[in-house]
Amino acid sequence: MRLIEDCLKDGKQAILLIPEISLTYQNLQRFYKRFGEKVAVMHSKLTDGEKYEQFTKAREGAVSIMIGPRSALFTPFTNLGMIIIDEEHESSYKSETTPKYHAREVALKLGEIAHATVVMGSATPSLESYYRIQNGEIKVFKLTKRLTGGTLPDVHIVDMKEELAAGNKSVFSRKLKSLMEDRLEKGEQMMLFLNRRGYCGSILCRECGEVVKCPHCDISLSEHRGGVLMCHYCGYTTDPVRICPKCGSNKIAGFRAGTEQIEESIHKIFPQAVVLRMDADTTKKTEDYENILSKFAAGEADILLGTQMIVKGHDFKGVTLMGILLADMSLSSNDYRAAERTFQLLTQAAGRAGRGDVPGETVIQTYQPEHYAITYAAAQDYEGFYEEEIAYREFMDYPPAGHMLCVQFFGPDWTRLSRLSVGMTNEVKEKLPAFAKANVKQIGPGKAALGKKQDIYRQVVYYKNASVEPLIAIKDYMEKRMTEISVIKEQIQFDQIQFDLDPINSF
């Protein structure tokens, strides 16, 4: 705020990027109190008319500060002086829809063009940013204590395998349950974080292992209240499944808990507790965020239960306990960033406790208590995690130590799609000198993580190299060939096949 104040005194404007719309409410209250009508907000929940009105105000100089997620970056300020990116490590700053971009990189370029200062803040910087710091490309300032006071919470790691062995089949470990009882007796608030949505997760057959999937998307259906199954990609719904469609067994049921189920468990164990649930299903309207957060901030509830949106940047003085359920779920992601994202998420979540005068505690419930992402998060040791993770990235040539190109192929016919992906990648090897010369590594082609969505199949191939130039040459060659193929697609039967490029480099 002080930096922005100095910026305004110089007659310039400022943009504050935040990762989640759920953070808008708290930030707006602080900024309105200090800067009044100079503040405007931009986010995806606004109508086109409201967005136009905000941009018009910015262009005409009626406002000087724009707050919002990545779309706020495109505010048409005429004299931009500063861009601040809060929680710069967040994946929500990357747009996965065309045109694909990363708000962090766009902000750096915009700052260069406008001669504006770019400030990135995070308790758990992205490896890309910290790698730049280590290489002297970015100046770093470290806060060694909380500005608003308070101490870092005591963190307890609970091995859920031991809980099960001891006969505890509850989603709450004995340690967490004990601390929850203590907080309710003292009248203190707590937060429970679960990285899931819906009543229950995947529907799994215990007999044969079959998972009930959407017929249009390669993704498991999620069970909601009443047993209705829903696909969170295309919206497909169907009645409850009682018999396994593969083996005919009746040993089929929901696997893993969801926020609604956790809420019901809390009410059974602690009927006196007032619970607020915050997830995608309870925040469909813009005002839902404000209603939930304002009630919790006012002390109208004992427990705030939610998904990732509750652990990012919120500052509640009365919270003295944070419980993290299924902490290691994100470690099973088929993404080289899985450990980094898990560490960031757990560290950020743990930091929600003890931000007031009363010390806080955090309980991390996990099935992998020895994993370095979890142990370093519990210790709040960023440097220790970075050293271990960057060694892995360097060994595997993953960003930021190397560069990656991801090429995705889309099409309604799996056979034709396979012919295209294999043919295109073989052609690149044979006819592009840069491929062999630079010793480019190729992974795939193969089925994408989401192999089918809305009846469109997906295949993917990855290219890795220490230099970005050979990868750009591959991208350019493929784009040129796809343009040529589209002209004669009827002759070679490549109709309706889509092509998409997603270059991912170390920055």
- What local confidence, expressed as pLDDT, does residue 353 receive? 84
Predicted confidence (pLDDT) at residue 507 exceeds the cutoff of 60 = no
Domains and CATH numbers, the chain: 2-121 (3.40.50.300), 154-195+258-392 (3.40.50.300), 199-255 (no CATH), 403-504 (3.30.70.260)
What are the CA-CA distances from residue 229 to residues 200, 253, 286, 319 (Å)? 10, 11, 26, 35
User: Are 474 and 434 spatial neighbours (Cβ–Cβ below 8 Å)?
Assistant: yes
The per-residue pLDDT of the chain, averaged, comes to: 85
Among candidate residues 286, 276, 281, the one with its CA nearest the CA of residue 24:
286
Residue 103, pLDDT score: 95
3-state secondary structure of 449: strand
320-to-356, 363, 385 alpha-carbon distances in Å: 8, 11, 26
Per-residue pLDDT band at 450 (split at 50, 70, 90): confident
Tokens representing 212? 């009930």
SS3 string, 151-171, reads: CCCEEEEEEHHHHHHCCCCCC
Look up residue 51 and give its two tokens.
């967005």
DSSP 281: T
pLDDT surpassing 60 at residue 256? no
Q: Residue 81, Cβ neighbours under 10 Å: how many?
A: 23
pLDDT at 187 over 60: yes
Instruction: Tell me what pLDDT residue 502 has.
Output: 37
Tell me the pTM.
Answer: 0.80
**Amino acid identity at 104:** R
Cis, peptide link before residue 240, omega less than 30° from 0: no
